Structure 1
Amino acid sequence: MNPWEATHPVSLEKAKEKIERDFPSLKPASVKAYGSGFDHTVYEVNREFVFRFPRRKLGYEAMQFENRVLKSLERLNFEGGFEYPKPVFYQEAEGDDYPYVGFTNIKGSVLTEETDTDLLHHHAKELGIFLKKLHALPADQIDADPDHLHRLSTKLRKKHFHDIASESEPVIPRALYKELIHYIKNLEEWENEPGTVPLHGDLHPKNMIVREGRLTGIIDWGDAHIGHPAVDLSVGYACMTPEVRTVFFKAYGEVDERTQDLARFKAVFIMTVLVRYAKNTEDQDVLRWGLAGLEKSLS
């Protein structure tokens, strides 16, 4: 079975039926496809809102996390320089269906739709400031769990990492693939690094919104948690060259060598996951960004 296949698909017609039934104030609802991620099917409604329907169990869990965290950010009046979704609608589960949610619409296109894979170079300072402000929020006022997935444990993930890379080999240029395997083979094994800061948790190109050629929004907070800053700082490796990365880290603040190693690991890992996703779904946009991200994070 394709790991990305939806166990709970929701067609556009079904989404419209549900939304108009559950939220009469939105009738007549103008509904159009807005894309699909790893875990959700997404529809734009009346151009004002984005409704997310979980595609599988992980999506349901992520949606619950996201709703809680975004409410916390809204309560704290968090302003980091980029837009983020505000929860507006929530519908409980019915029968075998999952719950679903509606957020304010962060208008624009997903970053992976951009042809310029260096686009975030223009936002290195802004992203560093955004993460500095996010990580400075009081963790005890954010409704989020600790890192129960052990995202930074190479001891837990190294074999799986190699398996993902091997599965992705057909779409990775030979020289880059050899570099990737060399990195994995020589990767030191360590336990999960603890941390105490609020994190987005999944900051990669499919979760960023661009409008008129500029980064404007950060979406998909379903992996938000309390953990180590390296999880988010990985974006500096995945989307920036070494020269630009220095601007990013300077804006964020002092980052020790250990944190940089952890951030690089997270970047190489998630970019490899993106490449495998692109291979399995034949998504050429994501493949372009995944391969560019591998090159950057390994440099």
Structure 2
Amino acid sequence: MNPWDATHPVPIEKAKEKIERAFPQLKPVQVEPCGTGFDHTVYEVNQEWVFRFPRRQLGYEAMEIERRMLISLEALAFDGGYDYPKAVFFRESEGEDYPYVGFTHIKGHVLTEASDTDLLHQEAARIGQFLKKLHALPANYVDADPDHLLRLSTKLRKKHFYKIAEEAGSVIPQALYEKLENYIIDLNEWENPEGSVPVHGDLHPKNMIVQQGVLTGLIDWGDAHIGHPAIDLSIGYACMTADVREILFDAYGGVDERTRELARFKAAFVMTVLLRYSKDTDDKDVLRWALAGLEKSLE
């Protein structure tokens, strides 16, 4: 079975039926496909809402994390300069189906659909300012857990990193693959660093929304947690060249060498995961961005 296949598929007809039954105030419900992520099937409803249905267990867990985090951001009246979804509708599980959530709709399209893989260069300062504000939120007022997954531990993830690279190898040009292989071989093994700030947790091109060539919002907060800033600062390596990256870091308020090392690792790891995903799903858009991102991460 393809690891990206749904164990709990929700086709459009079923989604319409479930939403109309649970939320009659939305009738007549007009449902349009809005994309499929790693863990969710997503539909636009009445051109105003986005409903996310978990496709598998990891999706359900991520949806709960996301809902808690977004409720916290709204309660804190967080405004970092980019839009983020607001959780408005929630439906408990029905039978063997997972619960699902309806969010406000951030207009635009996913960043990976843009042809220019340098598009975020113009956003470097704004992203740095956004992350500075997000990471400054009082962690004790944010409903999020610590980093139980140890996302930045190379001691835990190095072997897995190499395996993912091998599995994605057929879509990676030879020169770039050799560069990636050498990076992994030379990667020191360290424990997960301590972290104490609220983070998005999964900041990459599939989770960013653009409209008319401008970044407008950040979606998919299902990996949000209380962790290390490098988790989010990795976007500087994944989507920016070295000179532009410095603009982001300056806007953030300065980034030490250790945090840079951690952020580079996170970026290279995530871009390699996206390359494996693009190979398995034949997603050419993700492939284009992931190749560009891996190149930037390793430069």
Say yes or no: does 1:78 pair with 2:78: yes
Aligned partner letter, 1:247: I
| 1:188 to partner: Cα distance | 0.2
Distance between the aligned counterparts of 2:138 and 2:66, measured in 1?
17
Could you report, residue by residue, the CA deviation over 1:193-213 in whole angstroms, capped at 9, with x for unpaired residues? 110000000000000000011
| 1:95 to partner: Cα distance | 1.1
Distance between the aligned counterparts of 2:279 and 2:227, measured in 1?
30
Distance between the aligned counterparts of 2:126 and 2:277, measured in 1?
28
Aligned partner letter, 2:158: K
CA RMSD across the alignment: 0.4
Task: Give the secondary-structure state (helix, strand or coil) at the position aligned to 2:44.
Answer: strand
Say yes or no: does 1:8 pair with 2:8: yes
Distance between the aligned counterparts of 1:245 and 1:254, measured in 2?
11
Residue of structure 1 in register with 2:101 after alignment? 101
Could you report, residue by residue, the CA deviation over 1:127-164 in whole angstroms, capped at 9, with x for unpaired residues? 00000000000000000000000000000000000000
Distance between the aligned counterparts of 1:213 and 1:259, measured in 2?
30
Distance between the aligned counterparts of 1:38 and 1:164, measured in 2?
16
Distance between the aligned counterparts of 2:29 and 2:107, measured in 1?
18
Distance between the aligned counterparts of 1:212 and 1:24, measured in 2?
34
Residue of structure 2 in register with 1:56 after alignment? 56
Q: What runs of 5+ residues in structure 1 fail to find an aligned partner?
A: none
Residue of structure 1 in register with 2:255 after alignment? 255
Residue of structure 1 in register with 2:113 after alignment? 113
| 1:43 to partner: Cα distance | 0.1
Residue of structure 2 in register with 1:204 after alignment? 204
Could you report, residue by residue, the CA deviation over 1:97-142 in whole angstroms, capped at 9, with x for unpaired residues? 0000000000100000000000000100000000000000000000
Structure 1 outlier segments of 4+, above 6 Å: none
Task: Give the secondary-structure state (helix, strand or coil) at the position aligned to 1:216.
Answer: strand
Aligned partner letter, 1:254: G
TM-score by length of 2: 1.00
Could you report, residue by residue, the CA deviation over 1:202-238 in whole angstroms, capped at 9, with x for unpaired residues? 0000000000110000000000000000000000000
Distance between the aligned counterparts of 2:54 and 2:122, measured in 1?
33
Q: What runs of 5+ residues in structure 2 fail to find an aligned partner?
A: none
Distance between the aligned counterparts of 2:117 and 2:254, measured in 1?
26
Could you report, residue by residue, the CA deviation over 1:47-74 in whole angstroms, capped at 9, with x for unpaired residues? 0000000000000000000000000000
Residue of structure 2 in register with 1:244 after alignment? 244
Distance between the aligned counterparts of 2:96 and 2:30, measured in 1?
26
Percent identical among aligned pairs is: 72
Distance between the aligned counterparts of 1:107 and 1:13, measured in 2?
23
Task: Give the secondary-structure state (helix, strand or coil) at the position aligned to 1:221.
Answer: coil
TM-score by length of 1: 1.00
Q: Which residues of 2 match residues 42-191 of structure 1 at below 5 A?
A: 42-191=42-191
| 1:254 to partner: Cα distance | 1.7
Task: Give the secondary-structure state (helix, strand or coil) at the position aligned to 1:202.
Answer: coil
Distance between the aligned counterparts of 1:43 and 1:263, measured in 2?
32
Q: What count of residue pairs does the alignment treat as equivalent?
A: 299
Task: Give the secondary-structure state (helix, strand or coil) at the position aligned to 2:69.
Answer: helix
Distance between the aligned counterparts of 1:30 and 1:36, measured in 2?
18
Aligned partner letter, 1:262: L
Task: Give the secondary-structure state (helix, strand or coil) at the position aligned to 1:152.
Answer: coil
